[in-house]
Amino acid sequence: MKSLKFKPVEIFLFLNLYYACTVAEEKVRQAKRTYIVHMDKSNMPESFTHHSLWYDSSLKSVSDSASVLYQYEIVVHGYSTMLTAKEAESLGEQPGILSVLPDVLYKLHTTRTPEFLGLEKSTTLFPTSDSMGEVIVGVLDTGVWPEHKSFDDSQLGPVPSRWKGMCEVGKNFSASSCNRKLIGARFFSKGYEAAFGPIDESMESKSPRDDDGHRTHTATTAAGSTVPFANLLGYASGTARGMASEARVAIYKVCWLGGCFGSDIVTSQKLA
């Protein structure tokens, strides 16, 4: 069998390529990204008096510099944080850790209309009655444009007494932006900013304000108030309404110009 012979220059190039690949791989392992840590709440060690102390201890055992972005108590029990791949792997091996999942960036997709779903004539799913005003639709997306006519509250009674949410003030968004239709609005950006850096407020509002238009569109499709004589530049005039036009709306802005991170979405669930 004929043996292969390499010239010194070929060996040198190969070793340089191998070294470059090794360095690149190590840089990837050392780079930090956001993870969602799912804890088994029922198995908290007795040495801890509160779950938050357990969460913090588990995190500090693998990283001195990492901090908790959000704590989760509704959809899952646990927290989100920024770790290297090696730290995440080490954390996942601890007792009581159910999973350590990389944060996911989601993209926006437009919702369909009631006609597409065959619901435009349904009285069973969306009955017209006073009880519809007790329904609160929580919407997670790009925020809200409160001046939109579909958020008119003139035909609605008082806000349901069970509502405990808030109208969060921020850039281009005041407390008066909410009303008896748009009863709540908040924004969440820690996961997004951990990945992409601070939000550029010259490009978008760090507030519940919708600078994209996607959520205002989908929120009004779901529960927009009745708007007579709606049209597009004078064409196709008609009455626009949401599928549940008398329901209230609470908006949670979790999507920004670069997308929507799971860590921000999960923490908003406890308030929806």
Domain membership of residue 109 (yes or no) is no
Specify whether 68 is located in the same domain as 177: no
Element (H, E) at 249: strand 248-253
119 with 250, same domain: the answer is yes
pTM for the model stands at: 0.70
Q: What is the pLDDT of residues 129-183, one digit of tens each?
A: 556 788 999 989 899 999 988 899 988 999 999 999 999 999 999 999 999 999 9
Do residues 263 and 240 share a domain? Answer: yes
Other CB atoms closer than 10 Å to residue 71's CB: what's the count? 16
| Domain match, 177 and 213 both | yes
- The pLDDT of residue 242 is 79
- When divided into structural domains, the chain yields a total of 2
Strand 227-232 vs strand 235-240: parallel, antiparallel, or unpaired?
A: antiparallel
Residue 225: its pLDDT value, please?
Answer: 86
Please identify, among 55, 73, 102, the residue that sits at the C-terminal boundary of a domain. Answer: 102
CATH number at residue 140: 3.40.50.200
In a domain, 16, yes or no: no
- Structural domain boundaries enclosing 143: 114-269
Q: Does one domain contain both 262 and 153? A: yes
In-domain check, residue 85? yes
